Structure formats: C-alpha cells, structure tokens
Amino acid sequence: MTDTVKQNVEAHVEARGFSVYYGSQEAVKKVDLAIPSCQVTAIIGPSGCGKSTFLRAINRMNDLITGCHTQGELFFDGQNVYSGDVDTAVVRRRIGMVFQKPNPFPKSIYDNVAYGPRLHGSYSRRQLDAIVEESLVDAALWDEVKDRLEKNALGLSGGQAQRLCLARALAVKPEMLLMDEPTSALDPKATARIEELIVQLRGRYTIAIVTHNMQQAARVSDMTAFFYEGNLVEFDATKDLFTRPREKRTEDYITGRFG
C-alpha cells in the first residue's frame, strides 16, 4: 500500500536541523525529517523521547510553554513556521490537532464543532449546519449524535468524545492532522474505530500520529519515524522499518527489548 504513494511524495512538513529546548534541556535534537503529503506518518519511541514535543512543535503549540524555544527550521507547505512573521492562528488553522485525552469544550456538541468555523469566518446558520454535519459524518459520529446536537458534549463516552474532537478539528478544513496518542485513553473498541477513521482520512489529509502501540503504527501508517532520546534514529516506510530495521536501537525497541 505504501509503494504506490512513494513515487510522488512531496514533503508537506520538513524539519531541517530542528531542535526544541525546554529551558536548557534539549528535548528534540537536530532532527531532519520530511513528512509526506496525504500519507500517514507514525512517530514511535520510548516514553520521554520527544515525540509529543516534536509533534506539538509543528503547529507551534509549544509556544504556550514558558521557556520552550527552538533552533533550526521547520517548513510547512514550503514556509518556515518559525520565521518571525508567521501568524500562528493560520498555522494552527491549517494544521489540526487531536490530543491524547479527549478534550471537548463544556459546550453543546454543535457548538464544539462550530467553534473553529465561527472563529475564522462568519457563516450563516445554514452554512454552519452543513459544516457541522459534514465534519461529524467524516468523524463517523453523525449517526450517534444527530438527535442530540444541543446536548452538552461532556456527556459523550470517551470514544465519542475523541471522535468529536476529530470532527472539531476537521470543521476548519485543515490540510494536516496531528494526533498525539489519540487512542491511549480509549478502550479497544473505540480504538479500532479511530484507527478505521485514520485509514479513511488518509489521502485527504496529511496525518502525523504519535503512538505507543507498535501494532497501531503498523496498521495505520505509511511511514514511521523512530525517536530515541530526542534524536530521530530511523525514518522509513512502515513496512520496511518493522521488517528490516536498519538500526540496532530500532530493532531493540520494536522487538520489545526496552520501551
């Protein structure tokens, strides 16, 4: 499944000598990585190796953390996200994000999905209705919630809430989706649904997903990046990385010798 796409890869995100620091601690170390367009890229590695840090650097979510700063370049769609004149609001609009723990706002389901569109433009109620429906359908949640759009989103189950967060991210029509261990707080059934969704969304969006679960990476991704202690150790087609890792540390990790 990966081979066909591989020929016309065009890097959607490209890191060049990219480092992230928390104060003086270097959490991501001079990483060079090109995430291909419209494919699913998995980021794996032991806990604390900088996966989340790298992922959050892509849409500049680390700006919220005091003392966090970067070095090197990170291009999105050919533009350096860390150049001084970048509008972070636009970066984040074009790069959606789904978090580890579902975090719907304490508002109605409808308002959750409509939050992003309302932020970035003015729509008539009809247009908004259409966007909300379309996003919920894409997130495979529409059938479950169409009769209770006005209910508070906090009443949803964990899996539903996570799909709502996905719908919320899709509603602003991003080009790319970042997912930070989106299923680690969910039960196996809900996890399977999210994985299905990722496969469905592949091809329309560039997806980067951090995961702890090697099977998950193998199931959903085209490319896999293995991080270790802040370094990018290996980056390859998923198929290759899991069957013939080039690096010893990768092999140790995927065979479960540590992690």
Partner 1 sequence: MHMRTRRFLDRAFTSAACLAVGLMVLFLLFVLGPIFVKGAGAYVFMGTVEHRRMMLDQFDRGNEERVTAEWLDVQQARRPVYEALSAFEKELPGLPAARRKELKPAFKAVREGVAELLGPEPGEPLPALTRKMYGQTRWTKAQEKLKEIRFEESWDYSAGAGRKVLTSRQPLFDGTALAPLFPLLERDARKLLRPRLTFYPRFLTDVSIDAHFFGGIGPEVLGTMYLALGAMLIAVPLGIIAAIYFQEYAKEGPVMTFLRSCVNTLAGVPSIVFGLFGLAFFINTMHVSSGKSVLAGALTLALLVLPTVIRSSEEAIAAVPRAYKEGAMALGAGPWRTILTVILPAALPGILTGIVISMGRAAGETAPIIFTAAVSVGKMIGPTEIASQPTPALSWNLYNLCTEHEAVNEIRHVQFGMAATLVVIVLALNLVAILIRARVARRLKG
Partner 2 sequence: MKGSEHLILSAAEKLQRKILGLLGRSLLFAVTSVAALSVLAILFFIARDAWPFFRDKGVAAFFFSTAWYPAHQPPEFGAAAIFVGSLLVTLTAVALAVPPGVLAAICMSDILPFSVRQVLKPVVEMLAAIPSVVYGFFALTVLAPFLQDSGKWLPGGFEISSGVNALNASVILGVMALPTIVSVSEDALQAAGRELREGSYALGATRAETLVKVVLPAAVSGVFSAVLLGIMRAMGETMVVWMASGNAAQIPKPWYNLLQPVRTLTATIAGDMGEADQMTGSAHYHVLFAMGLSLLVISFLCNLAGEWIVTRQRKRLRGG
Q: Which strands make up the sheet holding 11-22, listed edge to edge?
A: 25-36, 11-22, 68-76, 79-80
Q: What residue has token string 């991210």?
A: 169
Amino acid, res. 27: A
Identify which of 217, 180, 170 has the alpha carbon closest to the alpha carbon of residue 56: 180
Backbone angles phi, psi at 21, to 5 degrees: -120, 140
| Sole window of 18-26, 74-82, 96-104, 239-247 interacting with partner 1 (rule: CB under 8 A) | 96-104
Closest distance of CB 170 from partner 2, Å: 11
Amino acid, res. 33: L
Applying the rule CB under 6 A, the residues between 59 and 118 that interact with ligand ADP are 65
> Between 223 and 252, how does the x/- string for binding to partner 1 read (CB under 8 A)?
------------------------------
Applying the rule CB under 8 A, the residues between 147 and 176 that interact with partner 2 are 172-173, 175
Q: Which does 59 bind (CB under 5 to 8 A by kind): partner 2, Mg ion, partner 1, none?
A: partner 1
Asked if 256 interacts with partner 2 (CB under 8 A), we say: no
Q: Which does 49 bind (CB under 5 to 8 A by kind): ligand ADP, Mg ion, partner 2, none?
A: ligand ADP
Phi-psi region of 227 (alpha: psi -120 to 50; beta: other; left: phi over 0): beta
Helix axes 125-138, 109-120, angle to 10 degrees: 120
Applying the rule CB under 5 A, the residues between 16 and 75 that interact with Mg ion are 52
Applying the rule CB under 8 A, the residues between 130 and 169 that interact with partner 1 are 152, 154-155, 165, 168-169
Contact 156, 138 (CB under 8 A): no
Q: Which residues are at the interface with ligand ADP (CB under 6 A)?
A: 22, 27, 45, 47-53, 65
